[in-house]
Each structure stands twice: as C-alpha cells, then as structure tokens.
Structure 1
Amino acid sequence: MASSILTLISFIISFTLYLVSTSAITPAAPPGPIPGPLPGYGPIETNGKKYAYVCDPARFTALNLDVKTFSYCNTTLPFSARVKDLVGRMTLQEKVLQLGDYAQGAPRIGLPVYKWWSEALHGISTVGQGPRTSPSHATYFGDVVPGATSFPTPLLSAASFNETLWNQLAQVVSTEGRAMYNLGHTFLTFWSPNINIARDPRWGRILETPGEDPFVVGRYSVNFVRGLQDVPGRVVPPNLNERPLKVSACCKHYGAYDVDQWFGIQRITNDARVAEQDMVESFNYPFEMCVKEGDVSSVMCSYNKVNGIPACADTKLMSQTIRGDWKLHGYIVSDCDSVEVMHDAQQWLGDTPEESVMRAMRAGLDLDCGSYYTDHTVAAVQQGKVRESDVDNALTNLYTVLMRVGFFDNLLEYQKLGTESICTKENIELAAEAARQGIVLLKNDNSSLPFNNMTHSHIAVVGPHANSSKPMLGNYAGVPCRYITPLQALSADARVEFDLGCDVWCHNQAAKDHAKQLAMTTDATIIFGGIDLDVEAEAHDRWDLNLPPDQITFITEVAEAAKGPVVLVLFSGGGLDVTFAKNNSKINAILWAGYPGNDGGKAISDVIYGRQNPAGRLPITWYPSQYTEILPMTSMKFRPVEELGYPGRTYKFYDGPVVYPFGFGLSYTQFTYNLSLPQNSSVVDVKLGPDQKCLAVEYKPNTQVPPSACAAVKIADTNCNQSINLDLRVTNAGKVDGSHVIIVYAKPPQYIAGAPIKKVIAFQRALLKVGQTQYVQISVNVCDALGLVDKSAYQILASGQYTIEIENGDIVANVTLPVNFN
C-alpha cells in the first residue's frame, strides 16, 4: 500500500511539473491583440513613419508627392497598366537597383524598398533574418512578434499522405506571415516550398522535401502553394496575372538539384548529367505540377549546372519550359548568388560579369538573390549585351507579383491580422496534429505499443533526443511559439526516470551506464535516438546511412539491460539503416518521428500512450547501408546502370533489399481491402485519330509480347478524357479506431523495357472506427495514371495489361486493366 501511495504521489508531482513546463511559452506569448497595422507598425517606412501599403495617400503627402498623379496607384486600372506606368517612370539606374533581393526603391517616384527574401518551409523562418535595420533581411522576430508556429519539417508532414492537412498547414503559415507583415516583421514573398526529389538517401536536405515520389511531391507542392497563396473567393479570375495572392510562394530548386557537399563535390560547381527521360519523368514533374496546378507565383533556379549549362542561364529550362510550356504567372529568382557563382566559381565560358548577367537575363532570370544584377546590369546595357527592354520585362514580372500580394494596395481580407493570429492555440494544436499524423510505426512486436498508464506508469526516458527542443525543429525553422519536449510530454503519462545517456555521437561512457541502470529498474524504456543537423543539413550530405557507431552500441546495451519493453524513437530526415534494431528482439517497437516541430514531444507521447493510432507511411525508401557503397551520389540516373553495377533509385526503379520500403507504416489495428473496377471501367479502349501515329516500344529481351496493331501513342496526340474508376472497400477489422492511408499504384506491362516497377497514381487518408467499412471511390485520368516516358522523353501510353494495386505490408489488393487502341 505504501508503495502504491508513493507511486501516486510521484505521478502527481511529475504531472504538475509537466503542466508548469508546458504552460510556459518559449518565447513568451505575444502581448494582447494588435488589430492590423497601427501607428508605429507596418512594413513600409517613410520619413520615420510606417505605412501599411505603398499607395497610401498620406505616405505620398509625406514625400511631397500627389498620389493622384501616379497611375501605378490608380486601383481602377489593371495591374498590367499600373506596372507599365511604374516601370516607365524609372531611369535605367533606378531600374537596375530593383533587380536584387534588396530592391532599393526610387523615392523620387514614391517607390519604397522591398526585401524579397523570406522563408516559410514549415513556418515563418529565421533564415534571412538579421537586425531590424539590416538592409537585406526581410524577417524579424522580437518585441511584439517573439515567435511563430513551427510545424514538422515537410518530410514528416508528407508522411501523413493527407492533402487537406498540407493545405491547412500552409494556410496557417500564410496567415501568420501576413500578420507579421502587417506588424512590420516580414514581407510578402516566401521562397518555399522545396520540392526537389529525394533521389539519393545521402542528400542532406531530404528533411526539407516531401519525399522521393514525383507525384506525391507534386501533390504536396500544389496543396502547400494553394494554402499559401489562395485568397478565398478570388482563386480563378479571367486573367491569372491579376489574381490576388495572400502571400507569394516559390517552388525551388529547379532543376536536377540534390547534391550539396559530397566528398569534395559541391552544389555550386556540380554538373548534373541528366537524361531527358529523367528530367521529364522525375526531376521536372513536381515543378510542372506546381506551376500548372498550383499556379505558383515564383520558381527558383538552382546553383548547379545541368548537362554543362548553369540552371539559371539555361533558356530551355527556364523561359522555354517554365514560362513558355508551363505558363508561369510570376517571376523566376536565382538561388542566392547564383549569377555570381556562374562567373566566379564555375567560370562558365570565361565570361565577363556583364556577360554572366546577359546569359541569365536572356534565359529568363528576373530576380538575382544577391547583388550581381545590381552591380553589373547598367554596364551590360551600356555595352550592348542586354537590352533595357529585357530589364523592363524582368521588372514587369516582379512588380506584377507585388501588385497581386497587396504591397501597393492593402488587401482588405488581411489588413486586420495582428498578434492575435500568431501562435494561437489552434495553430499550435495543428502543429501537434501534423506530427501525430506523420509519425510512422516501423515495428511493434507482440503489440508492445501502445503503452498503458497503469502497467507502464514508471518509465525510463533516455537517449540523445529525450529532452530535444531545438533539434525537433530541423532546418529553415523560425523561433517557435514554445517547445514541448518528449521528456515534458511523457512526464504527464508516467513517473519518468530521465538521462540523456549521450549526445548523437554517444562518446560518454559514464552517462551510458546510468541510462542502463534506469532501464533495469523501470516498467518500460523509451530510447530517443537518431541524427540531427550535424549529420544531415544544407551544404552537408551524409557519408553513409548508419547511426553513429557509439549510438548503436548505446541503444543495444540499454535494450539488453532493460527490464520491460523497449521503444526506439528515431529523429531523422533521410532514411537510416536500423537493421540492428529491427532484428533485435529486445527492441519491441520502433517509431520514426522525423523532426516533429515545436509540439513534437506531445505528438510522440500521444502515439506511445495510444491517444493517437499511428497511420503515417514512409515517403522515402530506407535502404541498407550497402546501397550507398555501390553507386556514387553523382550518378543521376533513376534506372539501374547494369554495365556499371549501379542499382536503380527510389521504389520506382530499385528492386533490391530494403530496411523499410516506401509507403511502409504499421497501425495499432488491422485493415482489410476489397478492390474492384466497375464494369464500364474494366477495359480502356482508346480511339485513335485518323492521322495518329503509333510508336514502337522497346521490350525486355526474351519476353513474350502479346500481338498488337499499335504498341503505343504519344499522349500529346491522344484524347485523354477517359478515367479509371476504382471502387475500394476498406474495413477496420481490429480493436482500435484509426486512420488508414490508401496508396494506389499502377504497374505497367511487365515486358516493357525501362518502365517503372510501379508508380503512385493516387492516395487518400481515411478514418475508420472499429468494425467500420468505408467505401472509397478513386478516379484517375488514364493518361496521367498509366502514362510512361520513353527514352526519347516522349510521354506515351502503351497498350497491354496493367495492374492497379493497393499495398501496405502484407495487405495487398489488385485488379488488372487492359489498354487497347482502336
């Protein structure tokens, strides 16, 4: 009895400490509501006063100007006419001063400075932040805005496979960004999201991306960009260049960029040698979706060269593709200092600075993040290398976007947003919910999870990330509203014995020994391991896929010493070879928590103690460490290179052993599938036009190919109005309510050479109570779903027998679908 009373008292004390710790907001909660820009607030400073928007008549009066004489402030005119008036008023020197990320303005005509560079990858970021008076920094935390909501990094949010969630996250980010803008703490152009494909598992920036599948990454980009940009009720005006924007988003880094710093090969000089097939099928695909479906207002070109040409000077990549083929309504910006890099680091073509400016501007680069345009464009015009009309075109693209975001005229929908819109309870809860939805259960032997508050009331919490705060944020983070660490959150569920045991590198033997002692004397042990930004980050690729050796030893020894069940929680972006833990019977469960944001500890505790049934699915393949030993990071091919012994990349082309496959994730319950095709969708008959040409298809050797009068057709020449309609019945056959992610794959005919093993064509997240059956109807366009890209980079539809499959672990359902031409 005495022991029970002591346990109860200890629990009460722990819970009280938890409440105290989580009630403290770090940084302190913003002061009371400041509804919109008041005197002393606002983004535009003029003669010591601040104004909400450029064309405020009082601001022009302060400049001894009459706003009525400036047509660019006439709101009855279309943006095109207003921008033409604005650009036409500038001298060449004034124009050039607006071409860098710090646009210096032209007081003579009432044009203020504008700071283009803000970041919002998973919340308003401190990247680019500096002293408030710094001329080149746009974002500022302090005084009335001490922090903003910090969501999980994109890879963990992507693991939710929840398009609605992605859109909601971006809506909150843009609301907080707009409020910070009103308060003079940031501007309106955010260079996010990062939609590069996670092609190689060593890349240090995988945590910033939505994963390895081009379609999933593209859907993430569309939803995130729409959440940032869309103004409700004004999404599709007749002229998309006149469409208002809540804030401006930017899809980056284009193109074929995913090597940062790998054994001396650096991103600023790397030459990505890429086949057009891979460009169309993988590297460009998310950017095409971002521009066409997301209507993003900016694209950022990358440092690297693509097939010998710097991306920011490649006319085919930029003006022909982004603006010509995809119809970008916005501007193209360089990754920072890319034009300078072309001249100084790459020494491309032996150009002078003016010639580097010429090549970038001719290729379609509107804005130089840096000062190279500002420093050298006047001379380039004077030398006849750049037309002044080229400068005018760039400025037109730039200032049209600033008109659309309300820099010149305050958008009424958002003028009253202030501190009451930042770090709200709802926003913080959404951050926790995003982490909960993304966390992936990788192992759960004997249903060791979830824990029970009664039988697991005394636990050991150890490991490098056990009391993680800042590491939970990952990179491109801001100042968070608060931190709830794993230790704080778990202290509300149990009496906790705590010891880090070691840092990520785990060199401290004495601390390891104490952690083992705690594991020996408690009901259960939770080990928080993984890596951090010292291992994977921008400009820092990984050498291998293993945890640090001493951390592996630490995890193994603690697990061996533990009296009760052991849970391993992993923080990382890129995949980890944790075969040692997967095969260790003393490690009962493994959770991947990515970098879970400011409330990450709360989300992890909710999963461990069963308040959340995990439903996250891996958006990347977790390879064994040997994978990286047999091919260089710089080999850009997705398909296997048999003559060199290189395996394929991503689940689409790699069929070797894995630690955990793309799309893997367990649940506390069980689901069953029943998949069928309605009778009218069981065959795809494509009617060809009278002059339509059939294409030859390369087949695998020694395979039997069914006879066909037409092997394949170009999708561009084909009427692609048909849809594939799937009827799916999902049943929760277990004992716990839970969400389930349905991922639909298409497998092409097996005899087509070079075709993907399979590819994602749709996904959906469904919530099912115990015993509930949910009917899910999925409809996909035939050409989008079954289309292939051949060696000539044609997008084709081939005839033959396709398989539509839904798969997760041992759960598989599939149907076959013949495609015929007539």
Structure 2
Amino acid sequence: MAPSQHRGCSVFLCFQLCFIVSYFLLCTNKVSSQHYDYFACNVIKNPEVKNYRFCDETLDVESRVNDLLSRMTLQEKILNLVYRAGGVARLGIPEYNWWCEALHGVGATGRGTNFSSPIKAATSFPQVICTAASFNSSLFYTLGKVVSTEARAVYNVGLSGLTFWSTNVNIFRDPRWGRGQETPGEDPLLTSRYAISYVRGLQERDDGDKYRLKVSACCKHYTAYDLESWKGIDRFHFNALVTKQDMDDTYQPPFKSCVVDANVSSVMCSYNQVNGKPTCADPELLTGVICNQWNLNGYIVTDCNSIKVMFKSQHYTRTPEETAAIALKAGVDLNCGSYLSKYTLAAVQEGLASEADVNRAVKNNFAMLMRLGFFDGDPRQRLYGNLGPNDVCTPANQELAREAARQGFVLLKNSRGSLPLSPTATKSVAVIGPNANVTTTMIGNYAGIPCRDTTLQGITAVVPTTYFSPGCANVACVTARVDDAKRISAIADATILVVGADQSIETETLDRVDISLPGQQTFLVQEVTKVSKGPVILVIMSGGGMDVQFAKDDPKVTSILWIGYPGEAGGAALADILFGFYNPSGRLPVSWYPQSYANNVNMTNMNMRPDPATGYPGRTYRFYRGPTVYTFGDGLSYSRFSYHLVKATNLVSIPLGEQHFCKRSSCQSIDASEQTCKIAKVKVNLRVKNSGRMRGGHSVLLFWTPPNVHNSPQKQLLGFKKVFLTPKEQGTVRFNLEVCKHLSVVDKSGNRKLALGMHVLHVGSLKHYLMVSI
C-alpha cells in the first residue's frame, strides 16, 4: 500500500490548533486526528490566502480558476497535469494525489488513499458483478451514497483525496475477461443504469447543489476495452477493431449515460487502441465525443501510464515530447503517470503543443477540485465536515453490505426438497471446496480493507455441527484431495460445495483461457456427489461464468447458486439464502457458455454480431447464436411470481410529411431523429403476483425483439424494476417507453433507426405485439 501523500502538522501548530478545537473534536468523537495540509486556502497556515480571489468561495468557479491560472508559471501548471499533482506551495496549494478508488467501497488500491489510524478499514460491498445481479437501481444509488459518505469521512482525517476513479462501465463482452467482475455485465442498458445510479450516489450532495460535488466519480475505461492478457496478446498492444454499428449500440452507450444522464465529472481513457488509434490520443473520441457531443463537465484522465504505453509499447509516436503533445491536444487533462510532467515543457518549447493546451487541462483539473471544496478552506466547517471515524463501518453500512449480497445471489438450479435447508431439521452440514472458508477472495479486486469478514461463521451460526474440508489446496486445484471431503459428505445432512475462481484465475492483467471449473474442481464435485447423504448445493464464487453443464445435468447436484464475489458479509448472506431467512432474487448479468465457446471463439474478435460465413456465433444474449449453460436474466426464487398484462400500447403510427421519401417508397425504417417520432410513447403496465409462501424480491425484466432490419439484436433489455411482495400480494409495474429512444436500432453507419413493422415485448413467458407504422 502506498503511503499517504499528506504530511503531518508540526508539533507547534498542532498545539495551537488543539487548544482551539480539541474540545469540540473530543466531545463529538467525529474526527480524532487531522492533517492540515490536505486542502488549499488554509488561512490558519497561510493568512495571505484570504486575499486571493481563487480562495473566495462566493465567486463562480470560472472566475476563481482564471485568477489562479493568472498567478501560476507554466512550470507550475505542468506539475499539476499528473496524478501526483505538485500543487503550488507559494500560493498555499498543497500537493494532491488524484488516484483514489471506490469501485465497491473506499478502496486501498489507489495511491491517494491510506488506511491507517484513525480509520483502518471501510465497508467492503459486493463486487460490482454481484450487485448488478440484483437488477435494483435504488440499491445501486444507495451504495453510492454510503460509499461517498465513508469517502468523505476518510478525507476529513487526511487519509484520502476526493477524486475516485470509479466505476468500470465496460461491457463484459467475453466470459474470459479478467476484469469482467468489475463491471455490471454484458448488457448496455443494465450497465448504463448501474452507472447512472452509482455515479449519482457518489456525486450528489444532500443540499441539492447541482454544481458542487460530494466526491468526484469517474467512468472508465473509454472505450472498447475488455482484454488483459490472452494467448500472448495484452492490453498495451491490442488494437480493437470495432465497427461503427457495434461502437454506437454496444460499447459507447454506458459512457454516454455516464456523461449525459449521470453528469459524471471524469472519464478515463484506456490503454488499447481502437481502429488504429490509442484512445488517449484520439481527438475525435475525446474532445469530439466526450466534450463536444456529450458536454462533459469535468476532466479526462488517462489510465495509469497509458501515455507512456502509446510511446513505449505501441510505438505510435516518435518522441516522448510528441506523445505528451498528442495526448494534450486530443483532450487529456490529467495523466495517471509522469509523462506530462516530464515532457510537456519541451513539447511547448518545440511548438508541438501550446500553453493554451496546458491552460485548458489545468483549468479543468482545478475547477474539479473547487467543485469538491478543496479550495474552500477547512472542510470541517463545511457540509460533510463532521463526518469521521464513527461514520465508517457503521452497523447500518455493514448490514447494507449483507443485503446487497443477498439481493445479488443467483439461484440457477433448485430441485424439489433441496433449498432452502431447514435450520431446525438440518443437524449437520459438510462445507467443502477451495472457496469454502476464504476471506480475501470474497471481496474481489479494487477492494479496500473490510470492516470484518464472515465466512463459515455464517453457516456455523445456524448449524453448529459443521464439517469442513477444502478438497483442494487452492482454486487452481491441481490435485483434488477427495477422501476427507467424501467422508464428511457421507455423514452430513447436507453438503455445500463452494468452488469457483479468485484473483489468481481472473483479474486485471489476467484473462482466462478455460471457462470450466479450474483444475480438478469438477472431479471434486463429482466424487463428493456420489457419496453424499443429503442434498448437494453447488455454490460458485466467480466473476465470469463457468461451464457447469455437468452439474446442471446431474440430479444429485440438487441446487446451484452463483454468488459472484460477495463482499465482507458474504458468508452471512450465503447462510441467509441457504437456510431460507432470505428469498433469492438475483438474475445473471452475463451469459454462461460451454467450454466449446472458449475453444472456438477468438477473444480478440470485437464483433458483437454473428457471421454465418465464418461460423462466428456472435456475443452476449443480444446476438449470440449457440448453446448456453445459463443465459442473461436467468434466476430462480423460492416463490413463484406470475404476470398479468394490465395495459399496453398496441399500435404506434408515426406521422410523416407528404413529401417524405418513405411516403413515396417502401421503407423498412425511418430516422429516429424525426421530430414526429420523438413524441411517440409506449406504455406497458403489468400486475405481478407472488404466488408462493415466502416474501421475496423479484426483478421484472422487459425485453424486446425488433423487426429483423439493420442486423438488429435478436433480443434486448428495455427496462427492469424490482418489487418486493409478501405471499399472495400483487404489485403493479409500469414501463413508459419513448419510441425513438427505446425501440430504435443502430444501422451500419451508426445512425439510430426506428424499424417499421411488428415489435415484440417480452416479460417472462408473456409476450405483447406492438405494430409501428407510418
């Protein structure tokens, strides 16, 4: 872990300050330790700053930033183009480390956060792929709110910055991708909805100020980034060849939603090239799309050392100075790395870049810090200033971690009489497998230091007679040790096999080759199943899907439950599901393929749509044509939910002028930009009933099959709503759709088109037909 970037105060200064404020701090017990150089405009440390206009918070940000830039030299500006920003000591601006992470809790991976006294941990929520399986937008938002509160508390004690490079909104295109666990899955709509809710939760302030931020979020990695290291090809050298159609209907929508709908304050460009250009050097992608089309109100940051990568690894430029200039002129404002601090001055002197380019970037960076209150003096005197150690790892936050895990667990198979286990009739359980008693594995990557972990304790709290055998030395499971595992399974009332992956199998810099259970885990499951006395529950801990067709087909494997990487409360949440204290409601956010998919499909093929000429089957449930083990949206409950269509639009007619081309000729589609098209609406109202005996949540997924034009998706998610119903209770779910926005497809040129003809809306087995005509 990197040391904090913040220096401690002097003994003399601490004595003076403690004399003034210690009584308040001790009585509130909110902030017990502070570092006094983690914010600018500190009038106690430097009284002169009260005369600087950039320290006057009553002025608008534009005026403040312009004043600040007018006082800085070119060299001082350049030192603030990198994540370890040099500040301007003579103006009372301390150094600042921009690199903080908050993917699923305040993270320890960013160099700008340091867990130490008085805050040594933070709530570790489930990894994103698990949370996304809840299909619950309000949960996504709540998690963001709680994470930002804990982040502010850590900042207030001088142990973190306020700029968090989260969240990851890349599409989980291929099951082998090591970082797919960080994402909300394979669907553009689910990913977009997650991004909007989580980013708003992080950034929005309780006082309603739309311009200032609670913390700054970041959507990454822009764009078409989803390969780490696979069969000798790595992310630093990979050139993603992407069609205009796939770019606009799959890879870009989550980023657009981040900027346009969530008003995210930062976007991070990726390592890879897209169609021959490094993303951090492409002015069309950065300035053209993010800034000009989407109107980003914030800054663009590079992935760490990606500017260096384009010179050293991709050989895209001839000199380091040219590299720095190209990145700046493309629209980069901040370099996670050191290239801009080392080579920008020479680039300006050589005429490759201008001071205006530097000014634009520095202005965006300092404007961000001003929106966060970094230039408003002591944060303890501001909104959120009273947050401290007592606001981190609270009982409520830890219970939320447990609830988020429970909502994200996906029950994939459940034979009659298997789950839930009776907490009274079950006298003993055998818990077997390499992931059966893990802690670090549960929190996934980009994690912080959890408040506490629950593993087997969750099960032993319900059934004290719990036998344990790992079965393998680790998840690689080179050799399965089955004798002890078989012995305890043969005597226990129920067997729980916890298998899957961890960060040695899938993570940043590491993609999978196989998508079956690693090593001899399959053999372990099969051997244990043969001798088990009671039901066998297979629990899979992983980010990506696994080929578990053998277990799906085996009647002795009575239940299959996927739990992602469930966070610090994973063990307790698992027990809640297994013993029926909580009704599972998660649904898969990704498709699970057979191993043959990994054998036959090249991971570097970025095309979403199938190619019959080559046998390429396409990707994700939207386009893939081939067998699956389980598919996107699959998930069972202990209750049965039924649907009744209450109201739905049957016909949409788009009025066009008499001179319109399609009035004189047959058209399969019209431009979705037509003004008359934009006002058309579709309503779908459903009644949902819990017909079971147990209260539970249920995610209602509305899918759509458009007419087969422009190589359209075979099926696509249009919306989702989460409802919680008691036994026999009914609830109403309403979907309000804009025809041109929600029922349009993208053609080969990247233009959005409204297909004419019969559209089919699906909710479960219920289908509704909608005619769109002119």
* Cα displacement string for residues 760-791 of structure 1 (whole angstroms, at most 9, x for unaligned residues): 11001111111112122211211122110001
SS in 1 for 2:144: helix
Is 1:761 the counterpart of 2:728? The answer is: no
How far does residue 507 in structure 1 lie from its aligned partner after superposition? Answer: 3.9
SS in 1 for 2:46: helix
Match of 1:206 among 180, 185, 193: 180
Equivalent residues in 2 for 1:81-96 (5 A)?
81-96=63-78
Paired amino acid for 1:202:
R
Paired amino acid for 1:535:
I
Name the count of aligned residue pairs.
745
* Cα displacement string for residues 496-532 of structure 1 (whole angstroms, at most 9, x for unaligned residues): 11121222133455x4211110011111111111111
* Cα displacement string for residues 121-173 of structure 1 (whole angstroms, at most 9, x for unaligned residues): 00111113xxxxxxxx3110112111000000000000000000000111111
Equivalent residues in 2 for 1:126-141 (5 A)?
126-128=108-110, 137-141=111-115
Cross-structure match for 2:34: 41
SS in 2 for 1:567: strand
* Cα displacement string for residues 432-476 of structure 1 (whole angstroms, at most 9, x for unaligned residues): 000000000011011410000222121111111111111001100
Is 1:296 the counterpart of 2:253? The answer is: no
Alpha-carbon distance in 1 for matches of 2:721, 2:209: 24
Given that 2:610 and 2:623 are in contact with CA atoms closer than 8 Å, whether structure 1 keeps it comes out as: yes
Paired amino acid for 1:359:
I
Alpha-carbon distance in 2 for matches of 1:665, 1:308: 40
Given that 1:154 and 1:207 are in contact with CA atoms closer than 8 Å, whether structure 2 keeps it comes out as: yes
Cross-structure match for 2:563: 593
Match of 2:45 among 37, 46, 59: 59
Paired amino acid for 1:796:
K
Given that 2:227 and 2:234 are in contact with CA atoms closer than 8 Å, whether structure 1 keeps it comes out as: yes
Paired amino acid for 1:506:
C
Cross-structure match for 1:132: none
- Cα 1:694–1:230 change in 2 (3 A) is farther
Cross-structure match for 1:3: none
- Cα 1:412–1:506 change in 2 (3 A) is same
Cross-structure match for 2:359: 392
Is 1:817 the counterpart of 2:770? The answer is: yes
- Cα 1:91–1:804 change in 2 (3 A) is same
When the two structures are superposed, what TM-score results if normalisation uses the length of structure 1?
A: 0.89
Cross-structure match for 1:771: 728
- Cα 1:691–1:315 change in 2 (3 A) is farther
Cross-structure match for 1:28: none
Given that 2:153 and 2:388 are in contact with CA atoms closer than 8 Å, whether structure 1 keeps it comes out as: yes
How far does residue 675 in structure 1 lie from its aligned partner after superposition? Answer: 2.0
Equivalent residues in 2 for 1:149-168 (5 A)?
149-168=123-142
- Cα 1:562–1:256 change in 2 (3 A) is same
How far does residue 759 in structure 1 lie from its aligned partner after superposition? Answer: 0.7
Cross-structure match for 1:468: 438
Alpha-carbon distance in 1 for matches of 2:670, 2:46: 61
Given that 2:644 and 2:687 are in contact with CA atoms closer than 8 Å, whether structure 1 keeps it comes out as: yes
Match of 1:483 among 453, 473, 492: 453
Given that 2:41 and 2:50 are in contact with CA atoms closer than 8 Å, whether structure 1 keeps it comes out as: no
Paired amino acid for 1:342:
M
Alpha-carbon distance in 1 for matches of 2:442, 2:143: 17
Match of 1:98 among 80, 85, 101: 80
* Larger CA deviation: 757-766 vs 668-677: 668-677
SS in 1 for 2:563: strand
Given that 2:401 and 2:569 are in contact with CA atoms closer than 8 Å, whether structure 1 keeps it comes out as: yes
Is 1:523 the counterpart of 2:493? The answer is: yes
Paired amino acid for 2:703:
Y
Match of 1:652 among 603, 622, 638: 622
- Cα 1:323–1:447 change in 2 (3 A) is farther
Is 1:733 the counterpart of 2:701? The answer is: no
For structure 1, the 5+ residue unaligned runs are 1-30, 46-50, 129-136, 237-242, 696-706
Is 1:234 the counterpart of 2:216? The answer is: no
Given that 1:559 and 1:587 are in contact with CA atoms closer than 8 Å, whether structure 2 keeps it comes out as: yes
Match of 1:266 among 223, 226, 234: 234
SS in 2 for 1:343: helix
Alpha-carbon distance in 1 for matches of 2:338, 2:214: 28
Match of 1:581 among 533, 543, 551: 551
- Cα 1:518–1:491 change in 2 (3 A) is farther
Paired amino acid for 1:577:
D
SS in 2 for 1:177: helix
Given that 2:479 and 2:520 are in contact with CA atoms closer than 8 Å, whether structure 1 keeps it comes out as: no
Given that 1:205 and 1:536 are in contact with CA atoms closer than 8 Å, whether structure 2 keeps it comes out as: yes
Cross-structure match for 2:421: 451
Cross-structure match for 2:705: 747
Alpha-carbon distance in 2 for matches of 1:493, 1:33: 43
Match of 1:323 among 288, 291, 296: 291
* Cα displacement string for residues 788-809 of structure 1 (whole angstroms, at most 9, x for unaligned residues): 00011101112111011112xx
Given that 2:31 and 2:389 are in contact with CA atoms closer than 8 Å, whether structure 1 keeps it comes out as: no
Given that 1:688 and 1:718 are in contact with CA atoms closer than 8 Å, whether structure 2 keeps it comes out as: no
Alpha-carbon distance in 2 for matches of 1:202, 1:269: 18
Is 1:408 the counterpart of 2:408? The answer is: no
Is 1:346 the counterpart of 2:314? The answer is: yes
How far does residue 74 in structure 1 lie from its aligned partner after superposition? Answer: 1.3
Given that 2:444 and 2:565 are in contact with CA atoms closer than 8 Å, whether structure 1 keeps it comes out as: yes
Cross-structure match for 2:4: none
SS in 1 for 2:673: helix
Q: RMSD value over aligned CA atoms?
A: 1.7
Given that 2:710 and 2:747 are in contact with CA atoms closer than 8 Å, whether structure 1 keeps it comes out as: no
Cross-structure match for 1:634: 604
Is 1:572 the counterpart of 2:565? The answer is: no
Is 1:216 the counterpart of 2:190? The answer is: yes
For structure 2, the 5+ residue unaligned runs are 1-24
Cross-structure match for 1:715: 672
* Cα displacement string for residues 199-235 of structure 1 (whole angstroms, at most 9, x for unaligned residues): 0111011110000000110000000000000012425
Given that 2:593 and 2:627 are in contact with CA atoms closer than 8 Å, whether structure 1 keeps it comes out as: yes
Alpha-carbon distance in 2 for matches of 1:547, 1:634: 23
Is 1:672 the counterpart of 2:645? The answer is: no
Q: Percentage identity across aligned positions? A: 45
Match of 2:168 among 173, 178, 194: 194
* Cα displacement string for residues 591-639 of structure 1 (whole angstroms, at most 9, x for unaligned residues): 0010000000000000000011000000000011111222200000000
Alpha-carbon distance in 2 for matches of 1:154, 1:694: 45
- Cα 1:709–1:474 change in 2 (3 A) is same
Alpha-carbon distance in 1 for matches of 2:722, 2:662: 39
Alpha-carbon distance in 1 for matches of 2:325, 2:479: 56
Given that 1:527 and 1:566 are in contact with CA atoms closer than 8 Å, whether structure 2 keeps it comes out as: yes
SS in 2 for 1:77: coil
Which consecutive segments of 4 or more residues in structure 1 shift more than 6 A? 31-34
Cross-structure match for 2:15: none
When the two structures are superposed, what TM-score results if normalisation uses the length of structure 2?
A: 0.94
Paired amino acid for 1:602:
A
* Cα displacement string for residues 49-88 of structure 1 (whole angstroms, at most 9, x for unaligned residues): xx6x312311223xxxx12321101122100000011111
Equivalent residues in 2 for 1:481-520 (5 A)?
481-502=451-472, 503-509=474-480, 511-520=481-490
How far does residue 34 in structure 1 lie from its aligned partner after superposition? Answer: 6.3
- Cα 1:340–1:507 change in 2 (3 A) is closer
Paired amino acid for 1:391:
V
Given that 1:485 and 1:600 are in contact with CA atoms closer than 8 Å, whether structure 2 keeps it comes out as: yes
SS in 2 for 1:594: coil
Alpha-carbon distance in 1 for matches of 2:698, 2:728: 13
Alpha-carbon distance in 2 for matches of 1:275, 1:818: 30
Cross-structure match for 2:752: 795
Alpha-carbon distance in 1 for matches of 2:620, 2:607: 11
SS in 2 for 1:57: coil
Alpha-carbon distance in 2 for matches of 1:201, 1:180: 35
Given that 1:34 and 1:418 are in contact with CA atoms closer than 8 Å, whether structure 2 keeps it comes out as: no
Cross-structure match for 2:247: 279
How far does residue 36 in structure 1 lie from its aligned partner after superposition? Answer: 5.2
Cross-structure match for 2:345: 378
SS in 2 for 1:197: coil
Is 1:356 the counterpart of 2:323? The answer is: yes
